[in-house]
Every structure is written in C-alpha cells, then in structure tokens.
C-alpha cells in the first residue's frame, strides 16, 4: 500500500482480509491540552537530542546511535500515551521510547556517554533501562523483545493488573522468529500488549519489499486472530487515536493488537551509513518524505486549534535546545564508573529460595 493510500486514514485489518478505514476526523476535541503539548515537547526533545548526538559523533564523542529523525510521530507519541506503571519494551532505534516513557535528558545523555550518573550507571550505554518507569532494557538481539514482551504481558495478566505493555519493533525485526512466536503466545493468552511496528521502508540498507513477503505487516495480525491497524506514522494525531484504542483494548482484558506505522528516517541507518542519499535511496525520495514532517504537521494542528500559539511553539523549541545543552554539559562533567563498579550488578546479590 502506498503512502498516499493511508494519509488521513487508519486502516483496520479485519478477518475478511479487507482494509477498512476507521473514521478519523483530524480533530483535537476530547484530548487534554496539557497532554497534547507534552507530546509535542517529547517529539521536539527526540528530534533535538538526535541532532545533538549526531554532532557529538562528528566531534569524536563515542556514542552509538540509530537516529529517529523523521520518525518522531510514531514511537515518541506511542510511549507518551503510557502511564508510569505501564511497561515499555523498546528496540534499537532512537530515544523516543525513553523520552516518551518519562526518562530525563540528563540521565539519558549520561548513560550514552558511559557515566556513572546514567540510568544504568554507565554500564548499559544505548542498551539502557529504567525500573522506576517500567522501561525494559533495549535488547541487542533483533526481534527478541517481541517474545520478552509476551513474558511481561503474562506476568501482568497473572497479577490481574490493569497495566499494559507496549512493545516497539521495526519492519526488519517483524520477520524474526521471535516476533511470530511472541505475538502468537500473546494472542492465545489474550495478553495486555500493544505490538507497535515502525515500517520505515528499510532494514538497514535493504528495501522493505526485498525482505518481507507482505505489503503491510499489519496483515499478519490475521494469522494470530488479533486486530491489526495501518496508520500514517507521520501524523501524530492519527497515531494517538489508534494507540489509545489498542491500550483500551488491552486494559479491558481483550488481548493484544498489532499496529503498523508507515514512517521514514531522514538520516542513515547508523553512524556507519555514509551513503543515505543514492547508495540505496535517492535524495528525491528523502526530500519527498521531509515534506510530511511529523513535527511540523503536529505543531501546525495545535496552532490551528488554538492549543498553542506560534510564539509559544518557538519558545518551547528554545527551552528544549537549552535543556539539551544542559544535558550534554551534565554528562560531559560527570565521572565514569570506577573499575570495580563494572563487576557489580552482574549477578543477583540476594539469595533466592526455590
């Protein structure tokens, strides 16, 4: 399905293998104003943090990053809709999941620089986690987190909890065996999980159509007997609508959902990707997607709805730029762990009786 076919729509995948548009009016009524502005703030934090890290990498600072510039309308929005007690299971791309789940810029940056004041005392780096906000660690094995999320969901169900688990993965990971196993287990047991796949059209440098047998990943929901949705991932409001539907379903004990956002990364796959124009995609393609920028679109909607003024929007950007600068200074000045610290927290220090 082409991008143009989903603009303005959320497509529901039903058991007749048809794609039916879910009514979507692009209206902001019914949403909390402060929540809407907070989501914009999180999207801007994600964008500016990515940009700052890219600059630091050019200056020789050792940080591992897979940028999400261009994808802020997807994962950042989805994780911003969770409650603090809900669980988040991230993938390898970006920091929108961390920002959306409530982690601070200072401690994120400190962890990425390997400093002791970071979320994992500098020992996790990009594979960070935060127990206080129920953010599970970023696992290095692609797709494995889909099965891990099933374990979290099973635990929540066994505890009769009303909390849910949001699991993020990419189009490449959707083809891993872990993904099918995890979603099948979740479906059989009606676990409170929202499976959220960002389809940015490329698995590293390989076009999506060369690696995946279906046009729409959401079609695979039919094989598990769960709802599947395709949504314009550049449209934050559309993403909010479909994720909220899936969260409500999970909280009500109705089981998991599979959401596929059609989105796009403006930059290369990682710092090693030096030919993101022309090596495997054209500058014209990238420029076309940049015209659908999720932050510009969402900001304009808030301004038109009189939720925020143009000046307030610019002031917000200026404030976040300042917070990014403070975070870099905080992380740069912080101390590294001591040699003996690296051997701590490897094993549980408390005896467990069986």
The vertex-244 CA angle with 240 and 249, nearest 5°, equals 155
Query: Which is nearest to 255 in space by CA: 217, 231, 225?
Result: 225
For residue 32, give both structure tokens.
């909390």
Give the whole-angstrom CA distance, residue 267 versus residue 275.
Answer: 9
What are the structure tokens assigned to 321, written together? 């730029």
Helix (H, G, I), strand (E, B) or coil at 99: helix
Please count the residues of the chain: 354
Which among 339, 345, 337, 340 has a CA at the least distance from the CA of 116?
Answer: 337
Q: Which of 31, 266, 280, 321 is catalytic?
A: 280
DSSP character for 63?
-
On the 0-12 / 13-18 / 19+ scale of CB atoms within 10 A, 208 is middle
> Active-site residue among 138, 265, 281, 301?
265
**Residue 349: both structure tokens together:** 């220090």
Beta strands in 244-326 (DSSP E): 257-262
301 is catalytic: no
**Pairing mode of beta strands 193-199, 165-170:** parallel
Contact 331, 115 (CB under 8 A): yes
Catalytic residue among 66, 269, 281, 301: 269
265 noted as active-site residue = yes
Q: Tell me, what DSSP letter sits at residue 192? A: -
Distance CA(221)–CA(15), nearest Å, equals 9
- The torsion defined by the Cα of 270, 271, 272 and 277, in degrees rounded to 10, comes to 70
User: What is the largest distance, in Å, between two alpha-carbon atoms of the chain?
Assistant: 61
Residue 52: Cβ within 10 Å count: 18
Sign of CA dihedral 250, 256, 262, 265: positive
Report whether 50 contacts 32 (CB < 8 A).
no
- What is the 8-class DSSP label of residue 135? B
Catalytic residue annotation: 265, 269, 280
């Amino acid at each position: 399905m082409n991008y143009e076919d989903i603009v303005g729509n959320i497509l529901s995948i039903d058991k007749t293998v048809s794609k039916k548009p879910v009514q979507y009016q692009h209206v902001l009524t019914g949403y909390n104003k402060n929540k809407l502005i907070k989501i914009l703030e999180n999207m801007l934090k994600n964008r500016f943090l990515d940009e700052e890290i890219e600059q630091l990498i050019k200056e020789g600072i050792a940080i591992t990053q897979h940028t999400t510039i261009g994808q802020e309308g997807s994962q950042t929005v989805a994780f911003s809709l969770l409650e603090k007690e809900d669980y988040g299971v991230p993938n390898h791309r970006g920091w929108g999941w961390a920002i959306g789940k409530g982690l601070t810029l200072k401690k994120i940056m400190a962890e990425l620089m390997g400093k002791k004041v970071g979320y994992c005392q500098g020992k996790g780096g990009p594979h960070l986690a935060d127990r206080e906000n129920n953010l599970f660690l970023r696992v290095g094995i692609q797709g494995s987190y889909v099965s891990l999320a099933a374990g979290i969901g099973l635990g929540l169900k066994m505890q009769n909890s009303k909390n849910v688990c949001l699991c993020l993965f990419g189009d490449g990971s959707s083809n891993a065996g872990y993904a099918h196993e995890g979603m099948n287990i979740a479906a059989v047991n009606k676990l409170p999980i929202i499976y959220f796949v960002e389809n940015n059209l490329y698995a590293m440098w390989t076009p999506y159509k060369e690696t995946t047998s279906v046009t729409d990943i959401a079609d695979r929901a039919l094989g598990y007997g769960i709802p599947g949705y395709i949504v314009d991932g550049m449209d934050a409001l559309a993403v909010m609508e479909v994720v909220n539907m899936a969260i409500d379903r999970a909280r009500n004990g109705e089981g998991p959902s599979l959401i596929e956002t059609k989105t796009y990364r403006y930059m290369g796959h990682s710092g090693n990707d030096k030919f993101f124009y022309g090596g495997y995609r054209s500058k014209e393609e990238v420029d076309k997607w940049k015209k659908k920028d999720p932050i510009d679109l969402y900001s304009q909607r808030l301004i038109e709805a009189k939720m925020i003024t143009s000046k307030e929007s610019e002031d917000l950007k200026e404030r976040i730029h300042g917070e990014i600068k403070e975070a870099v200074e905080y992380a740069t000045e912080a101390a590294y762990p001591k040699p003996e610290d690296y051997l701590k927290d490897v094993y549980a220090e408390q005896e467990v009786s069986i």
